[in-house]
């Protein structure tokens, strides 16, 4: 490929050709940063630089493979194969194996994955007799250890770190320093490192062995780092040490797309590059080749509100494109129907394929509504970077409890829950129980509830635990006939200890699992209400049957890539789609209620919104809901402040979605830039509503919940009448059937389609 430089614009070419000294390449969304990195390396090789003297660090193996392949097309695969190119972990694992003697590990050291690390932590907690203390959760402990390693805090330093030990004491895990020390000792004894150790031990190697550091400083005359805004302190320090001699370091990234602080990434690494490397060169890649001018300009108007950023003006020379659609749905269920209906219409109107569509959400739990709507429309889809909602561990755990409650002979479900949450029924006990069940050809439940079990050789402690478990399940079984599916599920989640365990563990993982369980409650509530209104059975058996049918994947094919993509925004970074739906854009959800309490947190949420919007090539749609279920209770939502921060000229707002809640004074992020959008001095104690032009609407009180005086009596509902439903929104009554008190109405709802409702339960309002 002789003419590779001709494929670059002027800004890209400048970044490729200027190879000496420190360089910071700020690459806006869709600006071709991968091409610049690739061609910069190829250009170095063309200039006679030895491939083994170039170190290129990426964040994914896929990125490294693709770059090396493209470089090989220019300079030849044999030359490209000699590059030191890969992820931070893979490159430094290679160095640690070469320098194993200095690092104090065998060259054949094992690399522990997360499962191995969790198992080791569990063993340590058990040996320290901490496994029964509820505060010492495996995920919490491992999270603390990982955070310490990424900050280069080793056990002796951890024990002297007042801030960390104070936080541990407040979380009722004061023995963390001892656990951390034991964890490191056991890894060393086993000749093993976890992922974080690969970076920590590389730093220790370079600190304790200056001769080793000097060797690699001499070898790597040119260093390139991709996605520099995502580096943590440990990664930052390694690259800085290696670049000290020749200072030919080039980092590429975009501060506006720094969204991984929860993994330890520090935006300061890219913002402070100019302080670390005096005389650095700055290159800005500002032309977006991905999106329409409207999408790029709208994204710019959002990110301009962040204070912490390197100024740049991203632009597009593509078509202006259509305005960004803004839709406010009546409910979260309504939101799902609207998005899926719009996908169908857009696909037909613009001759798109399903793979041209992506639904992006802030939390994994939000996928459930859209999965069910897609299934009902028989639209193929895939969950990217995560499991289907009903396949997630916490969902399967609670569903297993429900299955055992309905059918205690379901041994597979029983094995899943008998020791979750932990109740001291271990592997040895389970092996004995399964042997007895097999010997007598009965279910595990029949063994556990058999009065003759004491004769099977179990000690009194185990018998007591088994009896307690069978009593717990027996209590659930007895309550099924008298409770709704929602109420019995709530009872099981509470009495089993599942909710308490997740509430106690403050880790990011547990918070996500709790959000997913919240969505399961919502699914059961919606199922119960809809079935009741339709005069159909809505018990627990019926719900489990529906879930079983929904999760039937007989028609799924991993080879079929023509599917709508569902993913979190974090997972979407680096991807692009013709049509993007950013859903649930509401206060407390996006921005996240936890993240938006501080200015840095809010700025990262705004960067996340910027990332989401810039995934779209041709069309973007933003949706929010007026109401949303939370743990089975209907709550009213306020549109996200981000919707009011977008320059209004780039938005298309349907008449029925014009009103949006006005941000309150003092809300984080309401700085000087936001004040230009809203006149805060006119704010009164009464909550107002504003449209995107800033005009105060007459109806400025919060939307009330449906109450009895709003609802129509069954005898008021007649064919042709326009009605409003709490979840399905506006619809028209088509016809009635049956006699009082069991009259059924067939109603066609604008977004939810045709429904048959039992009027005595339907909660309909007549609208003009």
For the cut 60, the answer to whether the pLDDT of residue 705 exceeds it is no
Q: Which of 14, 19, 34, 760 is catalytic?
A: 34
Q: For residue 673, count other CB atoms closer than 10 A to its CB.
A: 13
Task: Judge whether 325 and 622 are in contact, CB under 8 Å.
Answer: yes
The reply to whether 669 sits in an annotated binding site is no
Task: Judge whether 292 and 614 are in contact, CB under 8 Å.
Answer: no
pLDDT digits (tens, 9 = 90+) for 47-65: 999 999 999 999 887 888 8
The reply to whether 29 sits in an annotated binding site is yes
For the cut 50, the answer to whether the pLDDT of residue 278 exceeds it is yes
Q: Which of 168, 194, 196, 227 is catalytic?
A: 227
What is the Cα–Cα distance from 750 to 308, expressed in whole angstroms? 44
33 labelled catalytic: yes
Q: How confident is the model at residue 709 (pLDDT cuts 50, 70, 90)?
A: low
Mean pLDDT of 426-449: 87
Mean pLDDT of 383-411: 83
Mean pLDDT of 349-356: 95
Mean pLDDT of 172-182: 94
**Most confident of the ranges 121-130, 344-353, 498-507, 587-596:** 344-353
pLDDT digits (tens, 9 = 90+) for 480-519: 888 888 889 999 999 999 998 888 877 778 888 888 898 8
The reply to whether 551 sits in an annotated binding site is no
> What's residue 401's pLDDT?
94
34 labelled catalytic: yes
What is the Cα–Cα distance from 44 to 48, expressed in whole angstroms? 7
Q: How confident is the model at residue 689 (pLDDT cuts 50, 70, 90)?
A: very low
110 labelled catalytic: no
- Tell me, letter by letter, the H, E, C secondary structure of 671-721: CHHHHCCCCHHHCCCCCCEECCCCCECCCCCCCCCCCCCCCCCHHHCCCCC
Mean pLDDT of 616-638: 90
Tell me the β-bridge partners of 288.
316
What is the Cα–Cα distance from 143 to 149, expressed in whole angstroms? 10
For the cut 90, the answer to whether the pLDDT of residue 3 exceeds it is no
Task: Judge whether 130 and 172 are in contact, CB under 8 Å.
Answer: no
The reply to whether 313 sits in an annotated binding site is no
615 labelled catalytic: yes
pLDDT digits (tens, 9 = 90+) for 101-131: 899 888 878 788 787 788 889 888 988 888 7
> What's residue 554's pLDDT?
33
> Taking all residues of the chain, what is their mean pLDDT, rounded to a whole number?
85
* DSSP assignment of 125-171: HHHTT-TTSTT--HHHHHHHHHHHHHTT--HHHHHH-HHHHHHHHHT
> What's residue 584's pLDDT?
95
pLDDT digits (tens, 9 = 90+) for 522-550: 888 888 887 777 777 778 877 876 776 55
Q: Which of 38, 257, 346, 489 is catalytic?
A: 257
For the cut 60, the answer to whether the pLDDT of residue 664 exceeds it is no
Q: How confident is the model at residue 257 (pLDDT cuts 50, 70, 90)?
A: very high
Q: Which of 513, 615, 628, 755 is catalytic?
A: 615
- Tell me, letter by letter, the H, E, C secondary structure of 234-277: HHHHHHHHHCCCCCCEEEEECHHHCCCHHHCCCCHHHHCHHHHC
What is the Cα–Cα distance from 605 to 585, expressed in whole angstroms? 11
Q: How confident is the model at residue 697 (pLDDT cuts 50, 70, 90)?
A: very low
Peptide bond into 763 cis (omega under 30): no
The pTM of this model reads 0.77
The residues near 248 (Cβ < 8 Å, ≥ 6 apart) are: 19, 20, 21, 22, 221, 222, 223
For the cut 90, the answer to whether the pLDDT of residue 669 exceeds it is no
pLDDT digits (tens, 9 = 90+) for 381-393: 998 765 677 878 8
Mean pLDDT of 202-226: 96
Q: How confident is the model at residue 151 (pLDDT cuts 50, 70, 90)?
A: very high
pLDDT digits (tens, 9 = 90+) for 287-306: 999 999 999 999 999 999 99
Write out the two tokens for 456. Answer: 């099977």
What is the Cα–Cα distance from 252 to 229, expressed in whole angstroms? 8
pLDDT digits (tens, 9 = 90+) for 8-38: 999 999 999 999 999 999 999 999 999 999 9
Task: Judge whether 382 and 571 are in contact, CB under 8 Å.
Answer: no
226 labelled catalytic: yes
> What's residue 386's pLDDT?
58
CA nearest neighbour of 674 among 682, 666, 651, 657: 666
DSSP 220: -
φ, ψ at 609 (rounded to 5°): -65, -40
Q: How confident is the model at residue 702 (pLDDT cuts 50, 70, 90)?
A: very low
pLDDT digits (tens, 9 = 90+) for 549-570: 554 333 344 445 899 999 999 9
Q: How confident is the model at residue 656 (pLDDT cuts 50, 70, 90)?
A: low
> What's residue 55's pLDDT?
96
What is the Cα–Cα distance from 228 to 256, expressed in whole angstroms? 12
């Amino acid at each position: 490929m002789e003419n590779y430089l001709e494929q670059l614009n002027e800004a890209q070419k400048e970044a490729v050709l200027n190879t000496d000294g420190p360089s910071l390449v700020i690459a806006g969304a869709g600006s071709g940063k991968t091409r610049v990195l690739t061609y910069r390396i190829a250009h170095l090789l063309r200039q006679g630089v030895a491939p083994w003297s170039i170190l290129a660090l990426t964040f994914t193996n896929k990125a490294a493979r693709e770059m090396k392949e493209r470089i090989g097309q220019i300079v030849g695969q044999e030359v490209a194969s000699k590059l030191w190119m890969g992820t931070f972990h893979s490159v430094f694992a290679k160095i640690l194996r070469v320098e194993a003697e200095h690092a104090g590990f065998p060259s054949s050291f094992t690399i522990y994955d997360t499962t191995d690390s969790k198992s080791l932590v569990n063993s340590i907690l058990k040996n320290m007799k901490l496994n029964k203390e509820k505060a010492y959760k495996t995920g919490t402990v491992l999270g603390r250890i990982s955070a310490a390693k990424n900050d280069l805090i080793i056990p002796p330093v951890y024990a002297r770190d007042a801030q960390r030990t104070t936080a541990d004491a407040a979380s009722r895990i004061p023995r963390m320093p001892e656990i951390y020390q034991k964890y490191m000792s056991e890894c060393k004894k086993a000749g093993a490192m976890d992922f974080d150790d690969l970076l920590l031990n590389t730093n220790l190697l370079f600190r304790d062995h200056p001769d080793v550091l000097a060797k690699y400083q001499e070898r790597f005359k040119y260093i390139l780092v991709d996605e520099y805004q995502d580096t943590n302190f440990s990664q930052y320090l390694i690259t800085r040490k290696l670049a000290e001699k020749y200072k030919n370091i080039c980092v590429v990234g975009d501060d506006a797309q720094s969204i991984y602080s929860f993994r330890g990434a520090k935006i300061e690494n890219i913002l402070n590059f100019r302080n670390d490397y005096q005389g650095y060169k700055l290159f800005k890649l500002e032309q977006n080749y991905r999106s329409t001018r409207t999408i790029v300009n709208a994204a710019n108007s959002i990110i301009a509100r962040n204070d912490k950023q390197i100024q740049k003006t991203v632009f597009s020379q593509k078509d202006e494109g259509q305005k960004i659609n803004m839709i406010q749905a009546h409910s979260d269920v309504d939101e799902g129907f609207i998005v899926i209906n719009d996908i169908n219409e857009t696909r037909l109107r613009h001759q798109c394929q399903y793979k041209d569509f992506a639904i992006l959400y802030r939390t994994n739990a939000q996928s459930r509504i859209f999965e069910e709507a897609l299934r009902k429309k028989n639209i193929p889809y895939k969950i990217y970077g995560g499991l289907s909602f009903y396949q997630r561990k916490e969902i399967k755990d609670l569903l297993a409890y429900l299955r055992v409650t309905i059918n205690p002979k379901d041994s597979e479900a029983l094995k899943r829950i008998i020791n979750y949450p932990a109740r001291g029924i271990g592997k040895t006990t389970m092996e004995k129980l399964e042997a007895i069940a097999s010997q007598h050809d009965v279910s595990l439940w029949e063994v556990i509830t058999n009065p003759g079990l004491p004769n099977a050789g179990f000690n009194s402690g185990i018998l007591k635990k088994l009896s307690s478990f069978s009593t717990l399940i027996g209590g659930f079984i007895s309550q099924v006939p008298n409770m709704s599916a929602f109420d019995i599920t709530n009872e099981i989640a509470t009495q089993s200890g599942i909710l308490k365990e997740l509430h106690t563990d403050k880790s990011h993982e547990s918070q996500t699992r709790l959000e997913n369980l919240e969505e399961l409650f919502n699914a059961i509530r919606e199922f119960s209400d809809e079935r009741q209104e339709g005069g159909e059975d809505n018990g627990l058996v019926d719900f489990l049957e529906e879930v079983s049918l929904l999760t039937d994947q007989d028609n799924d094919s991993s080879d079929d890539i023509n599917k709508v993509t569902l993913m979190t925004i974090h997972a979407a970074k680096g991807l692009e789609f013709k049509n993007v739906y950013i859903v649930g854009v509401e206060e407390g959800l996006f921005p996240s209620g936890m993240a938006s309490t501080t200015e840095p947190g809010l700025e990262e949420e705004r960067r996340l919104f910027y990332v989401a919007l810039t995934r779209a090539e041709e069309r973007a749609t933003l949706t929010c809901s007026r109401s949303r279920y939370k743990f089975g209770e209907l709550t009213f939502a306020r549109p996200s402040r981000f919707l009011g921060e977008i320059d209004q000229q780039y938005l298309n707002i349907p008449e029925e979605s014009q009103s949006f809640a006005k941000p309150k004074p003092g809300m984080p992020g309401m700085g000087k830039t936001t004040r230009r959008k809203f006149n805060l001095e006119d704010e009164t104690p009464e909550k107002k509503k504003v449209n995107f032009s800033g005009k105060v609407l007459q109806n400025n009180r919060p939307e009330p919940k449906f109450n009895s005086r709003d609802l129509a009596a069954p005898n008021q509902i007649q064919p042709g009448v326009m009605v409003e439903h709490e979840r399905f929104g506006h619809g028209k009554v088509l016809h009635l059937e049956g006699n009082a008190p069991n009259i059924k109405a067939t109603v066609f709802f604008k977004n939810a389609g045709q429904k048959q409702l039992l009027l005595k339960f339907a909660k309909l309002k007549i609208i003009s």
